A and B are shown apart, each in its own frame.
Chain A
Amino acid sequence: MTTELAPVPPPKGDADPTPTRRTGDRLAFRIPVPPVSGVVRPRLLAVCLLLSAATFLAFSVETSVGDIDLPVTDVMKALVGVGDPGTQLIVHELRLPRALAGLLVGIAFGISGALLQTVTLNPLASPDMMGITQGAGAVVVAGIVLGRDSGLNTQALGLLGALTAGLLVYVLAWKRGTTGYRIVLVGIGIAWICTSITDYLLARGQRFQAQAALGWLVGNLNGRTWDQISPLAITMAVLVPPAVLLGRQIRILQLGDDVAKGLGTRVHTVRVAVLLISVGLVAFGTATAGPVAFVALAAPQVAQRLAGTPFPPPVAAGLTGAVMVLVSDLAARKIIPDTELPVGVVTGVLGAPVLLWLLIRANRAGSGG
């Protein structure tokens, strides 16, 4: 796990003779030639591998199931560009954009939630609670109800709303620096203002507009196209690597600002970077699929309990998010015949019991935060 690689000071003279050492749930190792050392959490590593396998499985099924069910082997062939042209067309133009949207949105929400929960020290801090998704919701519903939908598509409106809300939260929380606590509270203020705008618009709009708006508000993967995937993919290529690399710095922030400063962490730079990354991921994710309910909040908590770590691990959280969204989308398409429920309706139904089950059997008090 790259996130867990912590640089260890070079041995001075009498180096520890043991190459690996186990402390608690961590495994410290040192290889003499080439000189590499680090710390891994075997359980976290195992969880990540399992989650990757589950993600791959869900992705494969997602691409093979639909109006015409295709054998997974045919889909695999089509993916690498061989096999029946008709199958290739279905896979490349219909199935792949939808599955990729689910995969990327899940990863983006999971990582974003993990970062926010760690930096604010609050398991309830997620984009769902802090105004970012509500900002997107308010602007998109305004577009639908006020009839401005024609000019700008919902994707652009969602992006605009999420980024504006994120910026607003940050600017309003800024006062000679920010603290996680203030960001969360300001975020909640913004969230409720945006929610009330949305409620007002829903109540004053026409029935069909309200229905369209609600359909977007719960999150949806129907009819995604490559045009919608590419911006998200590019954003993630830029934002995910720094998110993973910042993992250690973020956890140092948990020791409190003063201790973190003493350890040489640039507290404000790290916090700003983390907020920018999470807002960016959520904004583009929401623009692509709508605010798929519950993923950003639940995936990090689920990942944390699976891996037994004291904080939500970003990579595992991203993978958990991907599994949640892909499995939920499959269920949404298949539960009721001839009806395609939006994926967000299912994420809560499937995600909530998992989170509850993990909460009930969590083995250490207060391991949630």
Chain B
Amino acid sequence: MGTSAVRVAKGPRAVLLLTFSGVALITLCALSMAFGALGVPLDQVWHTLLGNPPNARVDTVIWSVRLPRTALGLATGAALGLAGALMQALTRNPLADPGILGVSAGAAFAVVLSVGVLGMSSVYGYIWFAFGGAFAASVLVYVLGGLGRSGSTPVKLALAGVAVTSLLFSLTSAIALTDPDALNRYRFWSAGSLADQDQEVLLRVLPFLAVGAILALACAPALNSLALGDDVAKSLGLRLGPIRVQGVVAVTLLTGGAVAVIGPVVFVGLVVPHIARVLAQLAGLGPDHRWLLPLSAVLAPCLLLTADIAGRLIARPTEIQAGILVAFIGGPFFIALVRRRRLAEL
């Protein structure tokens, strides 16, 4: 709790930081519209978006391929970044990410189940399975992590997540190993890609992502109290149960939606909050979740779009899936960051 003078001084710096990240994101969106099998100069992209396409081909490419793909990267990236930041704060564990709370494993299991056992073959069919699987798994983790004498603790929650994840991973591999079709679909879905997804898929999950984002941002002030420890948070008048439930619901909606569409893209939710905290530290801001959550939501799509653009450029005429390149780009960056400074601990 700083004095009001400090808050006034920090506000503009936080806005500046968010603005810079926003500019980076807009630049990346523009690049994402421009690069690909058909290179479109930036001014043509601009004119096409305003309704004066230079030719019909550019018009089609921008409106039916590039724009949906970029929007997908924006929406799912922001969702994963928010979810990661929220989860690390909720569990007070710097290693927490949506993968750890069982969300991705639940989605993956449901996809393999729907393909292998129910013979589902269309994306529209299995996104709902993925979503349902993500939801069921995170509710299960949350309930299991909260049962017992000592109630829910960050460590119990994280361990319950890992336990459920391995249980589901085992079942997923059992199905995938005995059913070649399920394995085949699973290995492409699990690589994580923004390509070949049409607008319809995004529009179907967008409402869930939006509700999740609102719930997540509404948690932010409470997360600041929670960061001081359960006891202090309680004495500040915070009711831990409701805020944890709200957080878990938000994480489930955000990751469930994102993972259902683009596959279990790992790393974004884990790394981006760390990067956001370091940047906030460099800007002289404290670990205030009212800034960290929006910052993560802006930085995460930057990472995802960079990976997607790089994947299109590196392996022309084919593509490398964004999910794979995220780790290639984010990994070394993350390690460099860990080496450079002592990461802001939670």
Footprint of B on A, CB under 8 Å?
Answer: 122-124, 129, 172-173, 175, 181-182, 184-186, 188-190, 192-193, 195-197, 199-200, 202-203, 207, 210-211, 214-215, 217-218, 293-294, 297-298, 301, 339, 341-342, 344-349, 351-353, 355-356, 359-369
Contact = CB atoms under 8 A, between A and B. Distances in A.
B326 interface: yes
A353 B167 contact: yes
Interface string B147-171: 1111101011011101110110111
What 5 A-B pairs come out closest when comparing CB atoms?
Answer: A348-B170, A196-B327, A352-B167, A348-B166, A368-B155
B16 interface: no
A368 B192 CA distance: 33
Contact of A359 (B159, B169, B190, B270): B159
B166 A341 contact: no
A205 to B, nearest CB: 9
Query: Main secondary structure on chain B at its contact with chain A?
Result: helix
A186 B326 CA distance: 16
A365 B166 contact: no
A157 to B, nearest CB: 20
20 contacts: A185-B95, A192-B270, A193-B327, A193-B328, A196-B325, A200-B321, A200-B324, A214-B177, A293-B170, A294-B166, A298-B163, A342-B177, A348-B171, A352-B166, A355-B159, A355-B163, A359-B148, A361-B149, A363-B150, A366-B155
B34 to A, nearest CB: 25
B178 A196 contact: no
A103 to B, nearest CB: 21
Contacts of A362: 148-150, 156
Contact of A345 (B100, B160, B173): B173
Given A218-B170, A348-B170, A207 B180 contact: yes
B338 A192 contact: no
Contacts of A214: 173, 176-177, 183
B20 interface: no
A185 B173 contact: no
Contacts of B156: 359, 362, 368
B5 interface: no
Interface in B223-244: none
A225 to B, nearest CB: 23
Nearest to A202: B187
A209 to B, nearest CB: 11
Contacts of A207: 180, 183-184
Contact of A360 (B147, B166, B180, B188): B147
A365 B150 contact: yes
Contact of A186 (B170, B320, B330, B335): B335
A129 B96 CA distance: 12
Contacts of B167: 348-349, 352-353
B331 A192 contact: yes
A185 B338 contact: yes
Contacts of B190: 199
Contacts, number: 175
A72 B196 CA distance: 58
Given A214-B173, A214-B183, A365-B150, A192 B267 contact: yes
Interface in B59-86: none
B335 A189 contact: yes
Contacts of A366: 150, 153, 155
B339 A361 contact: no
Nearest to B156: A359
A351 B334 CA distance: 32
B327 to A, nearest CB: 4
B21 interface: no
Interface string B257-294: 00000000011001000100000000000000000000
A172 B339 contact: yes
B191 A363 contact: no
Contact of B93 (A124, A344, A361): A124
B174 A341 contact: yes
B245 interface: no
Given A293-B170, A360-B147, A362-B150, A124 B95 contact: yes
Contacts of B187: 199, 202-203, 210
A345 B170 contact: yes
A193 B329 CA distance: 9
Contacts of A190: 331, 335
Contacts of B191: 199-200, 202-203
A346 B174 CA distance: 9
Contacts of B339: 172-173, 175, 182, 186
Contact of A341 (B153, B177, B327): B177
Nearest to B343: A185
B337 to A, nearest CB: 9
B145 interface: yes
Contacts of A192: 266-267, 270, 327, 330-331
A364 B93 CA distance: 19
Contacts of B270: 188, 192
Given A122-B95, A199-B324, A369-B155, 8 more contacts: A124-B158, A129-B95, A173-B339, A181-B345, A189-B331, A344-B170, A355-B163, A359-B144
Contacts of B247: none
Contacts of A173: 338-339
Contacts of A123: 155, 158-159
A123 B157 CA distance: 12
B325 to A, nearest CB: 8
A113 to B, nearest CB: 12
